[in-house]
Each structure stands twice: as structure tokens, then as C-alpha cells.
Chains A and B, each alone.
Chain A
Amino acid sequence: MNLTIDVSNKENVAYVTLAGEVDAFTAPKLKDTLLPLTREEGQTVEVDFQDVSYMDSTGLGVFISALKSTKEHNSEMKLVQMQDRVYRLFKITGLTEIMNIDSTVRGGM
């Protein structure tokens, strides 16, 4: 029921690897880690969802804030390796239209 967040940097890319559950309890920690990364101009923030077993609207809220921040600071955000279950939430809320989600390597197919 916890969330672990790993961040590593390589050139202009910040790789954020998530493992666990994103809910109202863990979302604030995710927001605190993710938002500063999106404030670096020219940086790409790549978030790996492979080991995210659960997410709800509190997580969607964090990624909406992060997306807004990338627009303000000329950075980019990419969501990769998303499980079908999590992808479904982005889909039914219409967020797949505005977010860069790499669905080709989506897990759980």
C-alpha cells in the first residue's frame, strides 16, 4: 500500500520509476518529487508505470499538475509502460488525448 519513487538523471532526461500504489496517501509524495523535475527548462521527465499496481483520481490530479507545469517551464513529460488498468483511468477521463502516454509498451496485454 505504499509507493516508492526512484529518480535518476541522464543528460536531459529525468527517469522516474514508480512502484506501488498511488492514492490520497501517497500522491502528495509523488507530487513533491515530480513537480520540481518539470520546472527545469528543456528537461524530459519520463515516468515508468510498470510497477504501479493501483492508481485513482488523486494520481490523475498529480499528472495534470505536472503537465501544466511542463507547459509553463518548457519541459516535457512522458508516461511509459502503463498497465492496462491504470491506462483505462486516463482513457475514461479523456486524459489520453492531452498526455504523452507510450501505449506501445503497455504492460498487461
Chain B
Amino acid sequence: MESFDFVEVKVPAKAEYIGVVRLSTSGIANRMGFSFDDIEDLKVAISEAITNAVKHAYKETGEGEITIGFGVYKNRLEVMVADHGGSFDLGRVKEDIGPYKQDDNIEELREGGFGLFLIDALMDKVEINSKYGVIVLMTKYLHETEVGQDGDQISTS
């Protein structure tokens, strides 16, 4: 079993807390050694997922909590955003998750317009589990690993 650290943050489903989670995100990503640009990508992607969850929670009850889980691995950061307050049953989340498909029934996520599109564009992998509420699982690899996997690519920047 691959070892990792897990950080869980729970915030009220209110827009004013999105910036708070953004700060946590940049703290964790910075500690892991992500580049400035990657940290900015992570901040946008995670904010988009939380914005969707806030809208969803608000539409349902006007209150509630959002749970954000950070899986800190040696070569990647996995972030889960759940639009409900319960803690993650990690095994179950992964069991039920699948790649995002255009015909998935996730209207709540789409209403953000460019939200899900941006998550997809900025993260390396995006998965959605809509069995128990909506959980978005996003993965971003540390750049060093990407270079190792695609060693033949020459940077043009």
C-alpha cells in the first residue's frame, strides 16, 4: 500500500470560506514542492469544485458543510471535494468513482459554466462520484514526475 498523508478540512457551505480553503491548498502544495504555476492551477481547480458544492448545498438546504480531503503522496496531490459534511470513507469513494463523462448526470456541476471545464483543463485527472452526494476527486502530479514519464519532451518555454 502506497503511503500518504491525509489532511481533511471541513467548512460551512458558504462562499466566504472558499478563499480559506484556497490558502490551505497553497500551503499544502507549496510544502510538497509544486511550482508557482501549478499552485495557481490547483487553487483555481479546487475553488471551482467548492463553488459548485456551495451552490449545490445552498440549493438543497441553504446551509450545510463541505468536506475537502487532501491526499498528499510522494509524486502527486489528490484532492476530494464533497458537497456534504460527512468524513470520507476513502475505500468507498475510490470504489465508486469513474472518469468524467459528458452524459453523466451532474447538472449541479455544469451550472458553474466554465467551472468543470477549468477543473478538467488544470488538473491531470478528474473523477466524479455522484452516488452519495457529489464528490469530485482531482489529481495533480508533481512536475518532476511528469518529466520522468515523458522524458523525450523538450520544454519550449
Residues of A that sit less than 8 Å from B by CB: 1, 21, 23-25, 54, 56-58, 60-61, 64, 85, 89, 92-93
**19 interchain pairs, CB-CB under 8 A:** A1-B23, A21-B19, A23-B15, A24-B51, A24-B54, A25-B15, A25-B16, A25-B18, A54-B22, A54-B40, A54-B44, A56-B115, A57-B51, A57-B113, A57-B117, A58-B51, A85-B40, A92-B118, A93-B114
- B121, A92: Cβ atoms closer than 8 Å: yes
CA distance A64 to B113 in the complex (A): 11
Query: With an 8 A cutoff between CB atoms, is B20 at the interface?
Result: yes
- A1, B19: Cβ atoms closer than 8 Å: yes
Question: Cβ of A57: which chain B residues have Cβ within 8 Å of it?
Answer: 48, 51, 112-115, 117-118
- A23, B117: Cβ atoms closer than 8 Å: no
Q: A-B pairs with the 7 shortest C-beta distances?
A: A1-B19, A25-B15, A57-B114, A24-B15, A24-B51, A57-B115, A25-B16
- B113, A56: Cβ atoms closer than 8 Å: no
CA distance A57 to B119 in the complex (A): 10
Number of interface residues of B (CB under 8 A): 24
Residues of B that sit less than 8 Å from A by CB: 15-16, 18-20, 22-23, 37, 40, 43-44, 47-48, 50-51, 54-55, 112-115, 117-118, 121
Question: Cβ of B50: which chain A residues have Cβ within 8 Å of it?
Answer: 24
- A89, B51: Cβ atoms closer than 8 Å: no
CA distance A24 to B44 in the complex (A): 11
Beyond A56-B44, A85-B37, A92-B121, list 16 extra A-B contacts (CB 8 Å): A1-B20, A1-B23, A23-B15, A23-B18, A24-B47, A24-B51, A54-B40, A54-B43, A56-B47, A56-B48, A56-B118, A57-B51, A57-B115, A58-B51, A60-B114, A61-B113
CA distance A64 to B20 in the complex (A): 26
- B113, A25: Cβ atoms closer than 8 Å: no
